A and B are shown apart, each in its own frame.
Chain A
């Protein structure tokens, strides 16, 4: 605008200001932009600090024996020989693997039903609403639920698989919602052509819809797994904590988040250092899952 008026007004520089933004408005604009930039920088500060401290404290705790020995439970006497986090790493992998084995088929099944059968019926709307409700339920409440049903209900004690069930409840809404979004993106023309060629509905779903949507669904699943792997609260009263490496999901089971939580409250420096090392391990595992999820999402033909 100012260039236009400049060419029209020629050499009379005074004319320029008639169309230019007034200094007060320009100041306000600059101030507002500065504030917004400052807010953005503030948003990034914690990330930088967390990553820095995790690396500094966590790498110091890492060693070969850190990953290959179980915690000894020996937290006093100056913290000599406190052991590593092997049982916690293996426990987290086992618990999360079983949780995924439960949540992924069920979640994708419900998503397929929502997209292929339920559509916009009142029943499907109700299911969507309840899935949203599940998303909002605090993770510790899932822990309580599994405790009521599987610990009080069966009169038995804590076990790894009970922790898995609590985590699978947590993953379920994430898997359902992400899979539903991806399934909706599968072009209707693909389904129609398959149906027109005489394929029955179930073949259309298994041979056309699901393979097309697969990469996108894997992304959602990996994000759900990453979320579950970092959860502490649902495991406290379901899988409990233990020291020994345990390959039996029917017994007590250690996990990284619970191990960190127990170690944070310790007065011994060496044990707190182990918490930093375990935290770095956990964050690296979760970031790897996130990274893979993003790479797959980028390759996906849909979305």
Chain B
């Protein structure tokens, strides 16, 4: 009697028919496959890149390629040290100049500025992220570099006793100007993450500092900065990742000279720039060497970004209000709000 009222006996009264459950299963399966594809894609990418880079590594040896100080296309010598050094110098300069300015603007926006100014100020700094890389290159080479050449020469002359900085002839494209443009380019992301982390400092801490008689600056130094340290360092590392991978602005501004520059104001080359500049005409081992340069770049950014993510996420998790939300907003800022 009872069994007759239920169409198929082995199913509970409220369960859906297998047919009605089909779309659900299909959706779950489809989306899971999609997510798995992302994983597969990166692994596949890595393997293919290694495969293409192999002839260059076979010719020069892995260490010989990375640390060989001789990039000579016509002689088929491919030592990427000048490129690696160019990438590292310009990125380090970008951090040195960009991070203090970015952190200052973040402190100003979160702690010091009048409430009415906060939103416009944030917007203005983020507008910097909307300017494309090639436009920074254009502006840098036709405006900033010629305007600063005199000042750079002055500094180089005054500091002629300092090795690697002074003494030489300043060219329009050089390491310093590239680092300066990179500093402007990483400013929005470092500033945005610093701001995000600073906004997680509990008001209690700040009020406690002020209540004990601290001045505004002492409050910032005692309550805000120690609380945000790992978050700010993480933001700086994300900026470093950007600077290392930045291509077009660097290609335009660094001078594309395939040798180690003698000093800070000399022309050089970077890993990304060499690919952009030489790939079009490259053949055989040269092309493979460019793939190898891409691989070195890839691994370098992977390491830097890995450390950065760890720091930012840990800052948000242990220090923040402890909620999943603050973590995800930090990540979203890192990924989207200043996605340039």
Give complex CA distance A42, B31 in Å: 46
Q: Which residues in window 10-32 of B have CB below 8 A to A? A: 16, 20-21, 23-24, 27-28, 30-32
Tell me if A36 and B332 are in contact (CB < 8 A). Answer: no
Measured in the bound complex, the distance between the Cα atoms of B35 and A36 in whole Å is 44
Chain A residues with Cβ below 8 Å from B34 are 106, 109-110, 113
Name the one of B16, B218, B328 contacting A180, with C-beta atoms under 8 angstroms: B328
Q: For B109, B138, B246, B324, which residue has the most chain A Cβ atoms within 10 angstroms? A: B138
Min CB–CB distance A195 → chain B (angstroms): 11
Q: Establish whether residues A133 and B42, one from each chain, have CB atoms under 8 Å apart when the complex forms.
A: yes
Residue of A39, A127, A141, A224 near B298 (CB, 8 A) is A141
State the interface size on chain B (CB cutoff 8 A): 97
Task: Point out which of A43, A226, A227, A237 has the most chain B C-beta atoms below 10 A from its C-beta.
Answer: A43
B141 touches which of A112, A185, A264 (Cβ 8 Å): A264
Q: Quick one: which of A25, A35, A117 contacts B32, CB cutoff 8 A?
A: A117
A113-B31, A113-B34 known; A282+B135 contact, CB < 8 A: yes
The verdict on A138 contacting chain B, using a C-beta distance below 8 Å, is yes
Name the residue in A26, A220, A232, A290 with the highest tally of chain B Cβ atoms < 10 Å from its Cβ: A232
Q: Is the CB of A28 closer than 8 A to any CB of chain B? A: yes
Given A110-B34, A133-B305, A201-B27: A40 and B108 within 8 A (CB)? yes
- The winner among B52, B143, B184, B247 for most chain A CB atoms within 10 A is B247
B42 touches A132 (CB 8 A): no
B276 within 8 A of A: yes
Interface size on A, residues (CB 8 A): 94
Inter-chain contacts of A141 with B (CB < 8 A): 49, 245, 294, 297-298
A49 and B131 CA atoms in complex are apart in Å by 12
A38-B104, A136-B241 given; name 5 further pairs at CB < 8 Å: A1-B213, A29-B217, A43-B104, A50-B136, A237-B279
Instruction: Write the residues of chain A forming the contact surface with B, with a CB cutoff of 8 angstroms.
Output: 1, 19, 21, 25-26, 28-29, 32-33, 35-40, 42-44, 46-47, 49-50, 53-54, 106, 109-110, 112-114, 116-118, 123-124, 126-127, 130-141, 144-145, 148-149, 152, 172-174, 177-178, 180-181, 184-185, 200-202, 205, 220, 223-224, 226-227, 229-233, 236-237, 257, 260-261, 264-265, 272, 275-276, 279, 282-283, 286-287, 290, 294
17 cross-chain CB contacts under 8 A: A1-B213, A25-B218, A26-B215, A47-B128, A112-B31, A113-B31, A132-B309, A137-B302, A138-B247, A144-B291, A181-B336, A233-B248, A257-B133, A264-B138, A279-B132, A282-B134, A283-B135
